Amino acid sequence: MTATDYSERRQHVRVYFDGLDELRCRFAREATAPPIHAAAVHDLSLGGLHLSLEEDGGFAVGGRLTLLGLSYRTGQVCEMRVDMVIRWIFARPGFSRIYMGCQFLDLPDPARAWMTALVAAKERAAAGQSPAPGR
């Protein structure tokens, strides 16, 4: 299944992560109790993120999620509550993971500051200026 609304909404610098364990996130369906889902983050901007997880979960484009936290492989952790909406989903029979693009609906200042620092460090590392945080 591939579902998307195909409209381009990117307004922020996007950085990419090279492995399933470089940047991880925890999230829940909006306004519900557990289960808490864990996922790999493949790219991140101040506008949203691209994640993948091993479970289907019955997610749908337009569904609401709440990001609960991000953890970078160096040990940096940002606990937060950020409401998100699912903008696209990619899932295929035989694939071990489903992929989703999520847009942040309102990014609190502490989360914005943490993500801004991570994005800047990744950009510097990509340009060969200095390593990413904690390396």
Domain around 60: 15-126
**With a cut of 70, which residues of the chain have pLDDT below it?**
1-10, 20, 30-33, 129-135
Inside any domain, residue 2? no
pLDDT score, position 133 = 53
CB 20 within 8 A of CB 54: no
pLDDT of residue 3: 52
Tokens matching residue 105: 């609906």
**Phi and psi, residue 10, nearest 5°:** -65, 125
Q: Give the tens place of pLDDT for each residue, 53-70.
A: 998 778 999 999 999 999
8 in a domain, yes or no? no
Q: Is residue 94 part of a domain?
A: yes
pLDDT at 10: 52
Asked if residue 132 is part of any domain, the answer here is no
- CATH number where 104 lies: 2.40.10.220
Amino acid making up residue 12: H
Say what the pLDDT of residue 124 is. Answer: 87
Sort 38 into a burial class: Cβ within 10 Å, 0-12 / 13-18 / 19+.
Answer: middle
Domain assignment present for 51: yes
Question: How is residue 62 written in tokens?
Answer: 């337009």
Q: Is residue 133 part of a domain?
A: no
- Torsion sign (Cα): 27, 121, 15, 74: negative
- Domain count along the chain: 1
Instruction: Using a cut of 0.75, tell me whether the model's pTM lies above it.
Output: yes
